[in-house]
Structures are given as structure tokens and as C-alpha cells.
Amino acid sequence: MSTGSPPKTYISDLRPGRVATFEAVVATLEPTREVDQRSGGTKKVRNGLLNDGTAEISFVLWGDEVDLVSQGERIRIVEGWVKDYKGRPQVSLGKTGRIEKS
């Protein structure tokens, strides 16, 4: 029985409705923009694409997260939430996810 790390997850394996931990490169980053919140006020949001060589997935960063990554940087998404956005998978940090620099 192996006590090593869990099997590596690739973007091509990601499915909506699941939490995932994976490594990728920030392929593109769109400019930060402000969106209106239902509760009033605005919140920063930034979209981009992550690529790991198997596939690309869109991702979204909210609030203070928007400044955590740079284009071309290799990152690890830990417990990111994968959802269906306009018919395609998209990952966000949700309530429990985080970004680690690799």
C-alpha cells in the first residue's frame, strides 16, 4: 500500500460540481473589472485561462484574489471549485480554495 501523494489531477480530468487541486500556468489574464453586487456596492473580478498541457480551463478571481497571480506564472490551485459556466467548466477558489506559487 502506497503512502505517497494522491494521483496528479490534470485540467482535462476536471468536471463541474467537484473540488480539485491541480497545477497549471496562467495562460491569459483579462483586466480587472468591477461588478455590482446584489447587496449593493461593487466587487473586483478578473477572468483568465489556466493551461497544464492537457487542456485549458477558464478561471475567475474575486475581490483580493485578483492580484494573486501574473500571466505566465506557474501556480497550484488547492481545493478550487469547478462549476459549469455558460456550458464550459470554470474554476474559482470558492470558500475554501487557495492559490500556491509553484
Structural domains for the chain: 11-101 (2.40.50.140)
Distance set, CA 52 to CA 11, 15, 56, 72 (Å): 7, 15, 7, 12
Q: What percent of the chain has pLDDT over 90?
A: 88
Mean pLDDT score of the chain: 93
pTM: 0.89
Predicted confidence band of residue 102 (pLDDT cuts 50, 70, 90): confident
Query: What is the Cα–Cα distance from 36 to 44, expressed in whole angstroms?
Result: 9
pLDDT bin (cut points 50, 70, 90) of residue 6 is low
pLDDT value, residue 77: 97
Tens-digit pLDDT profile for residues 71-89: 999 999 999 999 999 999 9
